[in-house]
Amino acid sequence: MIKILATPLIQVPWWRNNRKVGWLLQAAFGLFLLIAIALLLANLERNLARAGMRLTLGWMSQPAGFDIAETLLPYKASDSYGRALLAGLINTLRVVISGLILATGLGVVVGAASFSANPLLRGITRIYVELVRNIPLLLQLVFWYFAVFLSLPPADQALHLPGLQLAKSGIYLFGARLINGELEGGLRLSLELAALLTGLVIYSAAFIAEVVRGGIASVPKGQWEAAESLGLQPIQILRLVVLPQALRVIVPGLNSQYISLAKNSSLAVAIGYPDLYAVAETTLNQTGRGIEVFLLLLLIYLVLNLLISAAMNAINRLVRLQER
């Protein structure tokens, strides 16, 4: 007995030590990955050198020489490629930001309406969601642009709605007047932007409505009944009792919908809206700098979506259940 107790702990050989083997495998895999990446880069470099091309961003300061239909950032053809791309990025941000706000508004309304006591309203929300969700977005955009917006009358026969005039040359808010056969003044929205926003918002809102519906459904029925027994109106119940609890389920789901919307905005190129991707395509064609332009595009969309994700995570921390 004594002899057995005194026996020192058996030395486990290193190849049977789970921790050591784990570390070794990790290190080997890391090394393998590094070699793989280095090989890929060296290969890219070698092939580019053979083609007489070097990765450079010098072309970005060259004059672009092409015009862009609409920009928030002042831009003219003699400006640089870099500025053209920046103007395109700002056009993209313009669509993404206004799209996020409008799609959220519409999505929340539709999602909440799917709990309405009115069967007609409930039916309409179901039809809307199922119809929009199951048709490809590209098809919808082309439909909105070529079939709907391009069918508007010319400027001198514009459709007049209160505070709004619709014509082939654009959508005019706040009282534009007809001068020499052209509508002028007021706030003009181009048909391309209008069609893109309409298509994106209607498409994304259907998905957001489903997220909102799921969130509201997650609130126990007892909460509705308790609020009702306190004498609250349906809208009050939603605003004061249900939505605050539903938000913790809704916000994480919204995150991926928002990222989708940002990525989908690049379909603008199909309907003539000069977003970042459209400008990049022209740039790529004129400069022949395919790798640089695409790396730049990848990086910009990646950063944009990481920012959206970070913002949504911050909001998520605010609304989540406080656990003590």
Partner 1 sequence: MDYERSLDYKNPIPNSQKNPVAFLLIGLILVITGCGGVETSGNGRLDAIKARGSLTCGVDGKLPGFSYQDNAGKYAGIDVDVCRALAAALFNNPNKVEYRDLTSSERFAALASGEVDVLSRNTTRTLSRDAKGGNGLEFAPTIFFDGQGVMVPIASGITNLKGLAGKTICVENGTTTELNLADRFRELGVAYTPLKYQSGDQTFGAYLQGRCAAVTSDRSRLAAVKTSFPNPANHIILGDVLSKEPLGPVTVNNDSGISDALRWVIFATMQAEESGINSKNLKEKLAFAKANPNQADLRRFLGVEGDLGSQLGLAVDFVPRVIASVGNYGEIYDRNVGQGSRLKLERGLNRSYKDGGLIYSPPFR
Which residue is listed with tokens 């026969």? 157
Q: How far is CA 274 from CA 40, 79, 307, in A?
A: 34, 16, 22
Using CB under 8 A as the binding rule, whether residue 291 contacts partner 1 is answered as: no
Minimum CB distance to partner 1 smaller for 82 or for 252: 82
Minimum CB distance to partner 1 smaller for 37 or for 135: 37
Minimum CB distance to partner 1 smaller for 206 or for 267: 267
Using CB under 8 A as the binding rule, whether residue 223 contacts partner 1 is answered as: no
Stretch that binds partner 1, among 18-26, 37-45, 113-121, 303-311 (CB under 8 A): 37-45
C-beta of residue 274 within 8 angstroms of C-beta of residue 69: yes
Considering only 22, 65, 123, 175, the residue that binds partner 1 (CB under 8 A) is: 65
Tokens at 119, concatenated: 């069967």
Using CB under 8 A as the binding rule, whether residue 78 contacts partner 1 is answered as: yes
Letters for 149-188 (x = contact with partner 1 by CB under 8 A, - = none) are: -xx--x-------------xx------------x------
* Helix 191-217 and helix 243-264, axial crossing angle in degrees, nearest 10: 150
Give the separation between CA 155 and CA 178, rounded to whole angstroms: 8
Kindly report the number of other CB atoms within 10 A of residue 204's CB atom: 25
Considering only 8, 52, 162, 222, the residue that binds partner 1 (CB under 8 A) is: 52
Q: Which helix (H) or strand (E) holds 280?
A: helix 276-287
Using CB under 8 A as the binding rule, whether residue 104 contacts partner 1 is answered as: no
Using CB under 8 A as the binding rule, whether residue 270 contacts partner 1 is answered as: yes
Using CB under 8 A as the binding rule, whether residue 77 contacts partner 1 is answered as: yes
Beta-carbon contacts of 10 under 8 Å, excluding residues fewer than 6 positions away, are none
Minimum CB distance to partner 1 smaller for 106 or for 271: 271
Residues listed for the chain: 324
Considering only 189, 272, 309, 316, the residue that binds partner 1 (CB under 8 A) is: 272
Beta-carbon contacts of 94 under 8 Å, excluding residues fewer than 6 positions away, are 72, 193
β-pair partners for 171: 166, 189
Binding site for partner 1 (CB under 8 A): 32, 36, 39-40, 43, 47, 50-53, 65-70, 77-78, 146, 150-151, 154, 168-169, 182, 191-192, 269-272, 274, 278, 281-282, 284-288, 290
